[in-house]
Amino acid sequence: MSDQEEEALKVIQSSRQGVLQSDLWKELEIDSRKCSRIVKRLLDAGLIER
């Protein structure tokens, strides 16, 4: 898992209500396309759910 994936997972897990993807990429200071790819990898790994 990349550093950015780990950071994204920490941000997502820190919120009980979940995180909007638009808020996630702003928080991580990455573009929306890269964020979408990270979210997809986390979903595929079973680490998060929509």
pLDDT tens-digit map of 1-50: 999 999 999 999 999 999 999 999 999 999 999 999 999 999 999 999 98
User: Do 8 and 44 form a contact (C-beta atoms < 8 A)?
Assistant: no
| Closest residue by Cα to residue 50 from 20, 30, 29, 16 | 20
Check residue 41 and give its pLDDT. 98
Check residue 31 and give its pLDDT. 97
Q: How many CB atoms lie within 10 A of CB 1?
A: 12
Check residue 43 and give its pLDDT. 98
